[in-house]
Amino acid sequence: MSVTEIDRRALLAGAAAAAVTSAFVFRPGAAFAQSGDLEAIKAAVTAGKDATIKSIQDWIKLPSIAAEDLNMAEGAAYMAALARDAGFTDVEVVPTDGDPGVFGILDVGAPRWLAVYFMYDVKHYDPAEWSSPPLDAAIVDLDGFGKVIMGRGAINQKGPEACFLAAVKAIKAAGKTLPVNLVLVCEGEEEIGSPHFKQVVTKPNVLAALKKCEGVFIPTAWQSPSTGAVTINLGAKGIIECEIIASGEKWGRGPVNDIHSSQKAAVDSPAWRLIAALETLVTPDGNTPAIEGWFEHVKPLTERQKELVAQTAAANSEEDAKKSLGVKVWIDDLPWPEAQERLASQPTVNIEGLVAGYTGPGGKTVLPGKATAKLDLRLVPEQTVEDCLKKLRAHLDAKGFPDVEVKFTGGYNPTETAEDARIVRAQQAVYARASITATLHPRLAGSWPGSTFTDAPVSLPAGQFGIGHGSRQHAPDEYFVVESTNPKVAGVEGCVLGFVDFMYEMATVS
């Protein structure tokens, strides 16, 4: 869920940023350009292009979906094979209490180490909704973009990940040596909230390898199609996803199953109990958490973070944002800069969904035995999932709802990476030299499993990096651009060369 969130934000942030490139040309950073390796590697990337495209297509044909227990062992084995094929050694499938992770290293004796994070799972899909079958991974002409691979996982995340592996292979094919050593850590449960990924990164040999690294990144390709711009995120909110459930079974009042609604005059209603419990969680306007102690560990934005938010607000169009979101006003009719500061700084309690009783067309005279609210609660530094879940439970108990269940379904802690971390500065350098506008954003309002890396014991700077474009994550007709006719965004070759340049930059950035 999370990686998609970042991309949506990136698209929005990038929509109004200025870029004047008339045709996308990959411009290597100084480190790569001066390495003497440039021409040979560029040639190798070009020579390997068809193989890179085919590797993305082949991978898409094996979908792993944790929620459906589909091809999980097969997906992990395939991931391990891809890593070995790219030259990684010590590759192992790492068992967890859930689905396995994959780990490998590529030690070329370079002074610095860089970690890369892969997900090998994809979001589920309904083939009936696709214009090209989601597992065909067909090459399709997409208006305004050129040739794209259309298929589930094309951009989220197999396309960019395969391009990173292609970068590693191109350096070897050119007879050159990687500028950094690599640690690869992969999971197959990203789309269900990474519930067991911490078991992978804290396995002693994995943790020892990660501890050597400058930072960790996930390969992306999130250039804005209109401007070519990207966003560099310095952190993200955390998230608790949970279900709040009132039921006759737990309450001991009301019916255990749905009964006829005429009984309401004599029988208590779990649905009304849910409403009463929910109502205590937020202020009457629904906009601020009212859970006891919720703000105890909320750290205000620093002056620098406020400055970056203000810059983002100034660089983006309020009108575009409102249009894109379909909203007329922000909370409390806040002006745009204040609304953006609220977005970056405030924890939330959001209702994702309500489900009780009869949910079809028209009505049905039932008194439901159970009512559920699906919530997501966004956390900001230094709130934690563990502490907040305790507070939520304690709050419901104190308000007289000990029977109302909190079913935790997934989440991450908030994450922050320092602006002067090498993986941030390397991103800025590469983007700048490629004439790609990169907006520094202090905190994504969305969430991703970065805290697995930024939290102890791994404690690494974490982020995203990539050149190129794809979209429709979690939606039908997901795509990844392979041959770009859009002058603002790179195709597969530019994407691969971007990863090559990023590794060279990581080797030398001060």
Burial of 266 (0-12, 13-18, 19+ CB in 10 A): exposed
Among the listed residues 114, 371, 417, the one whose alpha carbon sits nearest the alpha carbon of residue 249: 371
By CB under 8 A, residue 461 contacts its own copies: no
Total residues in contact with its own copies, by rule CB under 8 A: 89
Residues 44-103 within binding reach of its own copies (CB under 8 A): 67
Q: Establish how many alpha carbons lie within 13 A of residue 245's alpha carbon, considering only the half-sphere containing its beta carbon.
A: 14
Distance between CA atoms of residues 503 and 500, nearest Å: 5
Largest CA distance in the chain: 84
* Binding residue for its own copies, selected from 139, 142, 290, 351, defined by CB under 8 A: 351
Query: DSSP state, 6?
Result: H
Distance between CA atoms of residues 404 and 277, nearest Å: 8
* Binding residue for its own copies, selected from 52, 71, 223, 345, defined by CB under 8 A: 345
Distance between CA atoms of residues 357 and 366, nearest Å: 7
Please, which residue, 131 or 359, has the CB nearer to its own copies?
Answer: 359
Site string for its own copies, 237-266 (x = CB under 8 A): x-x-xxx----x---xxxxxx-xxxxxxxx
Report the alpha-carbon angle 357-363-364, nearest 5: 60
Residues 368-397 within binding reach of its own copies (CB under 8 A): 368-369, 371, 374, 376, 378
By CB under 8 A, residue 128 contacts its own copies: no
* Binding residue for its own copies, selected from 353, 402, 457, 487, defined by CB under 8 A: 353
Q: Which stretch binds its own copies (CB under 8 A): 27-35, 95-103, 336-344, 432-440?
A: 336-344
Please, which residue, 105 or 344, has the CB nearer to its own copies?
Answer: 344
Burial of 336 (0-12, 13-18, 19+ CB in 10 A): middle
Please, which residue, 8 or 306, has the CB nearer to its own copies?
Answer: 8
Residues 400-459 within binding reach of its own copies (CB under 8 A): 409-410, 444-447
Q: Which stretch binds its own copies (CB under 8 A): 1-9, 56-64, 95-103, 208-216?
A: 1-9
Please, which residue, 184 or 344, has the CB nearer to its own copies?
Answer: 344
**Closest approach of its own copies to the CB of residue 172, in Å:** 39
By CB under 8 A, residue 275 contacts its own copies: yes
Among the listed residues 22, 64, 167, 174, the one whose alpha carbon sits nearest the alpha carbon of residue 504: 167
Task: List the alpha helices (DSSP H) in 202-335.
Answer: 204-211, 248-251, 270-279, 303-315, 318-325
**Closest approach of its own copies to the CB of residue 309, in Å:** 11
Question: 3-state DSSP call for residue 393?
Answer: helix
By CB under 8 A, residue 198 contacts its own copies: no
* Binding residue for its own copies, selected from 39, 97, 143, 285, defined by CB under 8 A: 285
Q: How far is CA 445 from the centre of its chain?
A: 11
**Closest approach of its own copies to the CB of residue 57, in Å:** 28
Residues 290-329 within binding reach of its own copies (CB under 8 A): 325-329
By CB under 8 A, residue 195 contacts its own copies: no
Are 483 and 39 contacting, i.e. CB atoms less than 8 angstroms apart?
Answer: no
Structure tokens at 136: 């065909």
Q: Using the structure block, give the residue that is written with the tokens 């068992």.
A: 95
**Closest approach of its own copies to the CB of residue 401, in Å:** 12
Structure tokens at 52: 């890179």
Are 376 and 392 contacting, i.e. CB atoms less than 8 angstroms apart?
Answer: no
* Binding residue for its own copies, selected from 90, 92, 107, 268, defined by CB under 8 A: 268
**Closest approach of its own copies to the CB of residue 328, in Å:** 6
Are 187 and 197 contacting, i.e. CB atoms less than 8 angstroms apart?
Answer: yes
Q: Which stretch binds its own copies (CB under 8 A): 48-56, 303-311, 335-343, 494-502?
A: 335-343
Q: Which stretch binds its own copies (CB under 8 A): 169-177, 199-207, 271-279, 382-390?
A: 271-279
CA distances in angstroms from 300 to 91, 139, 222, 411, listed in the order given: 42, 47, 29, 22
Residues 148-167 within binding reach of its own copies (CB under 8 A): none
By CB under 8 A, residue 501 contacts its own copies: no
Please, which residue, 376 or 501, has the CB nearer to its own copies?
Answer: 376
